[in-house]
Structure 1
Amino acid sequence: MSHIHRFSRSLGLLLALCLLTAVLTPPVFAAPREGLLVVAFGTSVPEAMPAFRALDTAFRAEFPGMPLEWAYTSQRIRKKLARQGKPVGGISDGLAALARKGVNIVRVQSLHVMAGEEFSALERAVLLDIKAHPGRFQAVYLGRPLLESRRDAEDVAAAVLGGMAARREGGDGLVLMGHGQEHGRADLVLEGMRATLADADPLTVIASVEGSRDLDDLVHDLRARQLKTVWLQPFMVVAGDHARNDLAGPEADSWASRLRREGFEVRANLVGLGEIPGVRAVFVRHAREAHDDLCKEPVKQ
């Protein structure tokens, strides 16, 4: 047999072996890359930013190396920040940025306190974006707001009360201002939180800017407890405009001014919930445990 024939035969055997190996060897696919989209109403108050910075650090520590984007749902705040040269995008912007980074599994984590109208708008926006870009992501998991379960309420209560333990003296009350919703649509969540706080510390009361339990109810609760000194603290993720004006501002209609007129000694602790480690831990847990995949078709009944 000539050298050429032997070479041709060897080459044919080599090619056949390569083809067989290709058939028998399973294909290797790139591992899915996850990314995180953190969604908040937003703030343009510089003094409120420590809460968001602390949350950003907590998420990055829990999901090291994972691409992370922020989105604000408030168009008014986004426009204001853009004029200041500090742009923050909306939900569609954040999802597009993650897609450009090669992300195909997204965790969307809400920074809302409860599943009210703002959270519903967030969910609709994510669903509309998925519909507009079919196949862009394998899965989009939606993390739940802060207060969803008894465990959440107990963890948040322990974190808030623990953060104030060193500042309050015996007999000091703690007044928490939630946001709430018009027509009392968030009342049940706030009432559940109020009951959890009362079980943990009878001198802590909560009311809201909007909703059925307002400042008049709060004054009644404080008098029933015979309190003289009260601490004011926002029950909101950031200590922004509501905290610095409606709660503790010098205006005559702020909670601080009205409580002073009622005879209470008032002190303020302008700390957003996002600045409290135990509260951040609840948000991080919700992002980690999210299992509601918005890319899946709903099960037909």
Structure 2
Amino acid sequence: MSCARCFPHSRFSRFSRLLALTALLLLALAALPAQAAEADAAKAPREGILLVAFGTSVPEAEAAFRATDKAFRAAWPDSPVVWAYTSQIIRKKLAREGRPVGGIAAGLAQLARDGVEVVRVQSLHVMAGEEFASLARAVLLDVAKHPGRFRAVYLGRPLLESRADAQDVARDVLGALAGRRQPGDALVLMGHGQEKGRADLVLEGTRSAFQTSDPLVFIATVEGSRSFDELLAELRAHKVRRVWLQPLMLVAGDHARNDLAGEEEDSWASRLKAAGFEVEANLVGLGEVPGIAERFVEHARESEDDLTREPRKE
């Protein structure tokens, strides 16, 4: 027999239980976005960096590589950073000295062993000439040889391609010399260039950006169309007396220490002295100039060129 006085209490108990269950459900639903975010983070593919340069065997020049390496490790603190040199001659020499650095295929294999799923291959070339083209071919061949090894392989562009790139680099290079170079001093930058003129137009655009910032900046190349003779004529036309020499190359390696500032009579420094100029050599590779390594980091971050996928059709 039921008691009428018990009904209100029974209804109240059921109502309390319903409220408690509703609160628990709401708490569980509130936790779902955080759990989903944690799950997404756990599923995020691991990235790795492959830095590709021609290479150097000059110990003093490696400061530029160390600065670049530091910038990339700071930008990707949880990712492996692996180096590759494209010059087989330099790789063999370093191996004999007990300082081995692998090539592109070896670097990609190392990142695969490290459990990397997304690779950012960053060219450390100054301009997209023959060396950059060889790099791109080598990466494509390796991707084709090992299909499915990585989810994505992004290729970062060289330092100088756009007008903004040239303006940024000009600002960095000129800023690094501020306080040392006096008014009226010329700055001569030695680029590498290429025998058949590849990247000449990028070089001319870079030259224009520098001279817009400072008319006493001149660029010539070891190879390519901008010769030393043209440089000498420009310096004479501007009636400068003192010339600063600096490489427009990632490292101050063999070209900088011999062709640019060497004591041999055919070096640029010797020829300029013979022509009556005062000469100061600033043997600093671009990689050592504050801000330049961060330009490469930006190019790596911005790259959407996934070499594992077919190009999109227009």
TM-score by shorter chain over 0.5: yes
- Shift in Å at residue 65 of structure 1? 1.1
Secondary structure at 1:184's aligned position in 2?
coil
Deviations 1:231-285 (A, max 9, x none): 0000000000000000000001000000011110011000000001221121110
SS in 1 for 2:262: coil
Question: What is the letter of the counterpart of residue 266 of structure 2?
Answer: D
Matched, 1:248 2:261: yes
Name the counterpart of 1:285.
298
**1:300: how far off?**
4.7
Structure 1, unmatched stretches of 5+, are 1-25
SS in 1 for 2:224: coil
Query: What are the equivalent positions in structure 2 for 1:166-205 lying under 5 Å apart?
Result: 166-205=179-218
Larger Rg belongs to: 2
Match of 1:69 among 61, 78, 82: 82
Query: Per-residue CA shift, 1:103-141, capped at 9, x if unaligned?
Result: 010000000001110000000000000000000000000
Residue by residue over 1:39-93, the C-alpha shift from the partner in whole angstroms, topping out at 9 and shown as x without a partner, is 0000000010000000000010111111110000000000000000100000000
Report the aligned-residue RMSD.
1.5
1:152 aligns with 2:161: no
Q: Secondary structure at the match of 2:48?
A: strand
| Mapped partners of 1:186, 1:107: distance in 2 | 23
Counterpart CA distance in 2 for 1:286 and 1:300 is 24
Q: Structure 1 residue aligned with 2:63, among 30, 40, 50? A: 50
2:252 corresponding residue in structure 1: 239
Distance, in Å, in 1 between the alignment partners of 2:210 and 2:229 is: 19
Alignment partner of 1:294: what SS? coil
TM-score of the two chains, using structure 1 as the length reference: 0.90
Partner of 2:271: 258
- In the alignment, the residues of structure 2 paired with residue 188 and residue 297 of structure 1 have an alpha-carbon distance, to the nearest angstrom, of 28
Matched residue SS, 1:182: coil
- Amino acid aligned to 1:164: L
Residue 307 of structure 2: SS of its match in structure 1? coil
Mark the runs of 5 or more structure 2 residues left unpaired by the alignment: 1-35
1:199-238 equivalences under 5 Å are 199-238=212-251
In 2: Cα distance, 1:300 partner to 1:200 partner:
40
What residue is the counterpart of 2:52 in the other structure?
39
Tell me the CA shift for residue 186 of structure 1.
2.0
Which one-letter code corresponds to 1:147 in the other structure? Answer: L
Deviation at 1:30, TM superposition (A): 3.4
Match among 53, 63, 73 for residue 60 of structure 1: 73
Q: Give the drift of 1:31.
A: 2.4
Report the equivalent of 1:81.
94
Per-residue deviation, 1:184: 1.8
Kindly tell me the number of residue pairs found equivalent between the two proteins: 277
Amino acid at match of 1:259: L
Identity of aligned residues (%): 69
Distance in 2 (alpha carbons) for counterparts of 1:123 and 1:300: 20
Aligned-partner SS, 2:196: helix
Give the Cα–Cα distance (whole angstroms) in 1 for the partners of residues 43 and 287 of structure 2. 36
Q: Secondary structure at the match of 2:119?
A: strand
Q: Which amino acid aligns with 2:262?
A: G
- Counterpart in the other structure of 1:99: 112
Structure 1 equivalent of residue 138 of structure 2: 125
Q: Which runs of 4+ in 1 moved over 2 A?
A: 26-31, 298-301
Please give the alpha-carbon distance, in whole angstroms, between the structure 2 residues aligned to 1:151 and 1:194.
Answer: 13
Query: Scaled by the length of structure 2, what TM-score is found?
Result: 0.86
Aligned-partner Cα distance in 1 for 2:209–2:178: 17
Instruction: Measure the CA separation in 2 of the matches of 1:280 and 1:300.
Output: 33
Q: Which residue in the other structure is 1:108 paired with?
A: 121
